[in-house]
Amino acid sequence: MKTELLSRIESPFDLRTFTDQELQQLAGEIREALCNVVSTRTAHFASNLGVVELCIALHLVFDFTTDRLIWDTGHQIYPHKLITGRFHEFPTIRQKGGLMGYPNPHESPYDLFMTGHAGSSVSTVLGLKAGDDLLAQSHRRAVAVIGDGALPSGIVFEAMNNAAGLQKDMLVILNDNKMGICPRVGGLARYLDQARTAPFYDDIKREVSRMLNKVPIVGDAVERVLSQAKDAVKASLHGGMLFEEMGFRYIGPIDGHDLKTLREYLTMIKDVQGPVLLHVFTEKGHGFAPACEDPVRFHTPPPFERREDEVVAVKKSSSRAYTDLVSDAIYNAMARDSRVCVMTAAMCEGTKLGKIRTDFPDRFFDTGICEGHAVAFAAGMAKAGMRPVVDIYSTFLQRSYDQIFQEVALQNLPVTFCLDRAGVVGADGPTHHGAYDNTWMRVFPNMVVMAPGDELDVAPMLDFSLTYPGPVSLRYPKTNIEVVDRSVAPVELGQAEVWEWGADGMLIAFGTLFGTCVKAALQLRSEGLDVGVINARFLKPLDADTICRAVSEAGFVVTVEESALMGGFGSAVLETANAAGLRTDNIHRLGVPDRYIDHADRSEQLAELSLDVDGIVSTAIRASTRVQLARQEESFS
Ligand SMILES: Cc1ncc(C[n+]2csc(CCOP(=O)(O)OP(=O)(O)O)c2C)c(N)n1
C-alpha cells in the first residue's frame, strides 16, 4: 500500500509542511488506507470516504490542541484518526485491544468525547465554548461537524436555539451528503435539496470566491462577503432561510471535496463572531466508485474483495439473525391486521424493514434520527386506534426515555417496542451495547418486558404483544438465530417455560442465552450435577411461582441475562425471592457489571462476562461447591 505521506504524519501539524499537490496525494493515501482496512472487516466506510478533504482542511486551518472539534456521531472519525498520530495502529481498528471505531479520549487528546449516538455535537461544542469562555479560554475555537442525517435530531435544534441566544462564537459544519444510512427523509431533507438545485448558488459561489481572492479577508471585508452571501442565499431558498432565521450566520454551500475552497472558507470564517453554519456538500463514498454507487450498502459493508477501484466480491452471510425473524413477524402481522404499523428512526437497513417499506408504504414510518419523536408519534397512533411497533436499537431507544414514560406507559397505550441489538454488540463497543433496557423498561408501571429464548419464541411473542392492551417491550440481541430442542409452551403473560428441572441447581435465562444455558446444563449433567434450565420469557410480570420454586427447591440458582446486572432480570429474581421470604444467598447473577465493555468480537465479550458455556458452567460449579460446603458445615454443627 502506498502511504508514503501518511506514514510520516505524527501530528496534524505535519500537514502544514505539505504542498498543495502533496495534500491531494494525502487524500488519496487516506482513502487507500480506509479501503485496505475496511475491506477486511465490517466497519464504517462511505461516510469516512466522504469527509477526507474536510478533515484535512480542518486540521490545516485550526489547531485542535487548543481548538475544539467534535465529529457528530463519530462514525466518520477514521481520517481524523489517521492524521492525529494513529496511522500505525489503524489496522487494529474495531478489534479487541485495538483502536475504537468511534472517537475515544483514551486514545488521543484530539478525541474529546466517546460518542456513537447522533445529534449531540452542537450541544457539546456549545458547552465547550461556554465553559472555555467562563474559564478565560476564549481563544479556543469550537467546531462541530454534523451530517444532514443527524441534523433533524431534536437536540440539534435545541442546541442551535441555545447557541443563537447565547451568541457564542462557534462553527457548525453541515456535512450534507444527501444521506443518513439510507437516503434522508422528511421536510428538512426537502429543504436541503433545494440548496442543491438552486441555480443561484453558482453565482454566490463565484461572487464569494472572487471576493475571497481579491480582498484581504479581515474585518469589514469579511462582513461584506458574509452579508452578501446571506442575501443571496435568502433569495435562493425561497425566503426560508432556516439557519439565518434561527440566529446562525449561514455560509455556503461549498464543495466539500475541493480542498482549496475548504481552506479558504474555513480561514475566512474561523474568527467570525457569533454562531456560524458552514454548509458543505460532500459525496458519501467519494473516491471509491462502488461506495458512491451504493452508499447504503457501503455505509458499513461486510468484508469485501477489491481490485483497484472495483469490488469483486462481498462476503455474504447466509445465516438468519433475530432481526430477520422480528421483521418477518412484523410483516406478517401487518399483512393480517391493517392497524399494525411500524416506526424506524433512520435504521431501516439495520432493522431489515426494507420489504415492509416497499409493500406497506402507508404504514411504514421513517422518522429520521428522532427516537423521542418516533415514540411519541407511536403513542398518538396507538391512541387513535392503531397498533404501532417501534423498531429501534436498544441503545438508541434511550433517547426516548421520557416519551416511553409519559406518552406510552403512563397512558397505558398498546405500543410494541422491538429493541434490536439488545445485549453486547461486538465491534461497535461501549457506545452501542444494548445493556441497560432491562433496567429502564421494567421500572414503569404498565410495561410488560419480555425476551425470546430462541427462534421459536419470536413470532408468538410479537403476536402476543399486538393483542396485549398495553405497552410491551421485546428485546433480542445481535446474533444469529438458534433453536432449543423442546416442546414449546405457548406464550402467556407472565409465564416462564421450564426446559427441565434440576435438583442441584437451576439456570434461569432471560433471553436468547437460553440455548447457552441448556448447553451448560448438559455439560454440568455430564459432570454429575443435576442442573435444570428455565426460559424466563417475561421479566415483567415475572413468573413468581416458577422462580420461587426454583429458588426454594434447587441447591442454587444462576440468572443469566445480556443486560446490566444493576436493576435487571437477576435483580427482579432477588426481589421476588426476598418478597416471598426465601433465602437469596443461593442466587447468583450473570450479566453486564457496573463498567463499560470494550469493543471486541461479540463472542469475546460474552466470554469476558461469563455469559458463554464455560462461564456459566464454572459459575454453577462454584455455586454448587458453596452449597456443598454449607451443607457440610451444617452437618458438623
Ligand atoms: C441516536 C442515534 N440513532 C441512530 C444512529 C445510527 N446511525 C449511525 S450513523 C447514521 C446516519 C448518520 O447520517 P449523517 O449524520 O448524515 O452522517 P453520514 O453517515 O451521512 O456522514 C445513523 C442513523 C445513531 N448513531 N444514533
The per-residue pLDDT for 239 is 34
Could you identify the atom of ligand 1 that is nearest to the CA of residue 50? 21
Pairing of β 538-540 and β 448-450: antiparallel
Residue 7 CA to its chain's centroid (Å): 31
| Rounded-to-integer distance, Cα 249 and Cα 274, Å | 8
The per-residue pLDDT for 379 is 98
The per-residue pLDDT for 268 is 94
Residues 537 and 498: beta-carbon distance below 8 Å: no
Instruction: Clarify whether 478 is annotated catalytic.
Output: no
Instruction: Clarify whether 383 is annotated catalytic.
Output: no
Per-residue model confidence as pLDDT tens digits over 234-282: 545 543 378 998 999 999 899 999 999 999 999 999 999 999 999 999 9
The per-residue pLDDT for 206 is 53
Is 447 close to ligand 1, i.e. is its CB under 6 Å away? Answer: no
By alpha-carbon position, which residue is closest to atom 13 of ligand 1?
Answer: 180
Grid cell locating 511: 433471553
Tally of CA atoms within 13 A in the half-sphere of 420 that contains its CB: 24
**What distance in angstroms lies between residue 605's CA and the mean position of ligand 1's atoms?**
24
For residue 253, is the peptide bond before it cis, meaning its omega torsion is within 30 degrees of 0?
A: yes
Contacts of residue 114, Cβ cutoff 8 Å, sequence gap at least 6: 74, 100, 102, 103, 104, 105, 106, 430, 431
Instruction: Clarify whether 315 is annotated catalytic.
Output: no
What is the widest separation between alpha-carbon atoms in the chain? 97
The per-residue pLDDT for 219 is 60
The per-residue pLDDT for 240 is 38
The per-residue pLDDT for 197 is 73
Residue 182 CA to its chain's centroid (Å): 15
The per-residue pLDDT for 636 is 82
Per-residue model confidence as pLDDT tens digits over 118-135: 999 999 999 999 999 999
DSSP string, 111-166: --S---STT-HHHHHHHHHHHHHHTT-TT--EEEEEETTTTTSHHHHHHHHHHHHH
Contacts of residue 153, Cβ cutoff 8 Å, sequence gap at least 6: 118, 119, 368, 369, 370
Is 283 close to ligand 1, i.e. is its CB under 6 Å away? Answer: no
The per-residue pLDDT for 362 is 98
Residues 350 and 381: beta-carbon distance below 8 Å: no
Contacts of residue 503, Cβ cutoff 8 Å, sequence gap at least 6: 530, 553, 554, 555
Work out whether the CA dihedral 80, 85, 87, 93 comes out positive or negative.
Answer: negative
Grid cell locating 249: 450566520
**What distance in angstroms lies between residue 68's CA and the mean position of ligand 1's atoms?**
21
Grid cell locating 253: 454551500
The per-residue pLDDT for 568 is 98
| Rounded-to-integer distance, Cα 21 and Cα 25, Å | 6
Q: What angle do CA 442, 443, 444 make, to 5 degrees?
A: 95
The per-residue pLDDT for 30 is 98
Is 346 close to ligand 1, i.e. is its CB under 6 Å away? Answer: yes
> What is the amino acid identity at position 231?
D
**What distance in angstroms lies between residue 351's CA and the mean position of ligand 1's atoms?**
14
> What is the amino acid identity at position 197?
T
Could you identify the atom of ligand 1 that is nearest to the CA of residue 149? 16
- pLDDT beneath 70: ranges in the chain: 1, 198-240
Per-residue model confidence as pLDDT tens digits over 469-516: 999 999 999 999 999 999 999 999 999 999 999 999 999 999 999 999
Give 542-545 contacts, CB < 8 A, sequence gap 24+: 542/494, 542/572, 542/573, 542/576, 543/494, 543/495, 543/496, 544/576, 544/580
By alpha-carbon position, which residue is closest to atom 17 of ligand 1?
Answer: 147
**What distance in angstroms lies between residue 396's CA and the mean position of ligand 1's atoms?**
11
